[in-house]
Amino acid sequence: MAWRSSGESLAELVGNLCANRMITDDRVKQAFLSVDRAHYATRSPYKDAPQSIGHGVTISAPHMHALAVQHLMPYVVPDAAEGRGGPRILDIGSGSGYLTHLLAELAGPQGEVVGVEHISELCETGRANMAKSEGGRAHLESGQVKFVVGDGRKGAPSPLADGGFDAIHVGASAAKLHTELLDQLRSPGRIFIPMDDEGDHGAGNQSVWTIDKAADGTVTKKRLFGVRYVPLTDAPR
């Protein structure tokens, strides 16, 4: 049912994402309803399709953001039993800032979300988009959400990386799983990352993976589905 959740309003878009099982958790539904995609996508914001935001970058289709959040849910919400009173989340390739805002809603007031962009103009765009709403401004003013310029392949720059992250979302396709990202992942923790398929020989095939690090440091990888993302590369000169 991917690509079939478009609506004429935010409520209709979210309703269709739920009906098509892209969203299955009520907490995710409420987060999507609280963040208006129109603040982040200027044209047809409730269409279930990616859109250009300039600089050769797109804002992903809503169903892709929904799938990313659903797969990260065990690690992006407060859980006292697991010691996550305030989850720390890293959003690499934060782009428009839309998913960064959604993750902040789920993390709660004690959580922290760091958005990393290698294009400085997009870093400012994400910050400006979030400031369009009262809730977004509150996240920024409290310091719960921070946008920084950096090389996402190396994770968050110091000192923001100190202490690591419960969840890491990567919004561009990596050539491989960079060790810096795994080093910044807490135990337990999860990475949601698109990567180039092994043995692809430049054909452009990619798959989304979850990378889990258990409490004892054991790392397991699971392939979810094929995708097409922009590459995780150097910033354009």
Positions annotated as catalytic residues are 60
Instruction: Please say whether the beta carbons of 86 and 112 come within 8 A.
Output: yes
Closest by alpha carbon to 50, among 3, 116, 1, 120?
Answer: 3
Closest by alpha carbon to 181, among 106, 6, 189, 143?
Answer: 189
H or E element, residue 148: strand 145-149
Cα R_g (the chain), whole angstroms: 16
Residues 6+ apart with CB under 8 A from 181: 92, 153, 155, 168, 170, 191, 193
Instruction: Output the six-digit token pair for 206.
Output: 């990619």
H or E element, residue 212: strand 206-213
- Cα separation of the two ends of the chain: 39
DSSP state of 85: S
